[in-house]
Amino acid sequence: MDTLIPDNYPAGTIVKIGKKRIALDGKEVLLLHLLAEHKFLSTQQVAKFIHTPTRLFKSSVRNVTLRLNKLHGMNLIALQPGRVGGVYHGAEPNIWHLAKLGHDTLEKLRRIETNESKKPFKAPTFTFAAHRMAINDTKLILKHIADKHEQVQLKDAVIEEKSWRYYTNRAGVATSLRPDMYAVTTRGQLEHHWFIEVDCNTEAPVRIIAKCNMYLDYLICTQDSQDGWCCGQFPAVLWVVPTIKRRESLKRHIAENFPDFAVGQPFIVITPQELPSLVAEGKLGKLTEVTYE
DNA sequence: GTTCCGTGGATCGTGAGCCC
DNA sequence: GGGCTCACGATCCACGGAAC
């Protein structure tokens, strides 16, 4: 299930897990799917996925808070431990993830729909939770841009395994390209394909450059003489970085290592505040605060 | 009439930052 | 070091409107 929220929520359902009888309405099933796909979500992030511009965001937050607490009480979801109190200003947000019972419930529903065998439950590891949440935030910004701008549509936004590409590299070795996210947006008649890497200022520049080389390798190896680059469209490789300082650093390293490429072709380095103007207007460098009120 | 949902306002719990 | 203020997210309560 993709989290570009469908107009028709999944239907409510009753699932039996062992001796437990679990009754869920459509929105609660949707919340479980959201957490299954995104692994870690704060209450605010869940609200942003559910939020529509026709209501107040504060109301969306209250709504999902009630439902998340209900699911928590049913042991379907769990909170990341040790999050009470924060290292920044004020209390840190609740970080939710799917519990084993929630996983089993979704698996049961999936088996009913597809007859596929059950996937085992993997307990979440919190090592990469911050990076995962940053990826989720980027996806939310794309959703928000599409909500705010009539001329923009978010046609696709997939993360993790769904965004990975398998190909044969220039050395003839079968390999894979693993972006953080792959998205397709449209602006009027224009369609844009994005490979997105969300940077948390934790990777050494040399690793960024190595990743850029992988993208070049992939683009060259998948170039089709009739269709052009992969997907028939020239994709941009978007590095979303947390600060302007980091942006300038990565841009400098990329320019030094790939002097033959013009700025933004195919590597673009931006902060999240620049994403709206890039996607909605095709402009680089314009800062826009993403607000939900 | 009852229930559900959205809303506004107030309050609580927490750590960071500032000042003495 | 201790107290105070501030910022922030979460939560509670009451109210009104729509749907059943």
The pLDDT score that the predictor gives to residue A146 is: 85
Read off the amino acid at residue A228: G
The two three-digit tokens of residue A17, written as one number: 């897990």
Question: Are the C-beta atoms of A160 and A132 separated by less than 8 Å?
Answer: no
> What pLDDT sits at residue A186?
92
A59 CA, B5 C1': Å apart: 10
Spans in chain A with pLDDT lower than 50: 1-9, 82-90, 225-228, 230, 232
Distance CA A165, CA A281 (A): 28
pLDDT attached to residue A84? 36
pLDDT of residue A42: 78
Domain A13-126 adopts which CATH fold?
Arc Repressor Mutant, subunit A (1.10.10)
User: Into which CATH architecture does domain A129-281 fall?
Assistant: 3-Layer(aba) Sandwich (3.40)
Q: Within chain A, which residue ranges are assigned CATH 1.10.10.10?
A: 13-126
pLDDT at A179: 92
Strand C contacts (CB < 7 A) among A residues 32-61? Answer: 42-44, 61
Residue A42 parent element (H or E): strand A41-42
Which nucleotides in chain B lie closer than 7 A to a protein CB? Answer: 5-9, 13-16
Q: Is the CB of A90 under 7 A from strand B?
A: yes
pLDDT value, residue A194:
92
Nucleotide nearest to A61 (CA to C1'): C10
pLDDT at A204 (0 to 100): 83
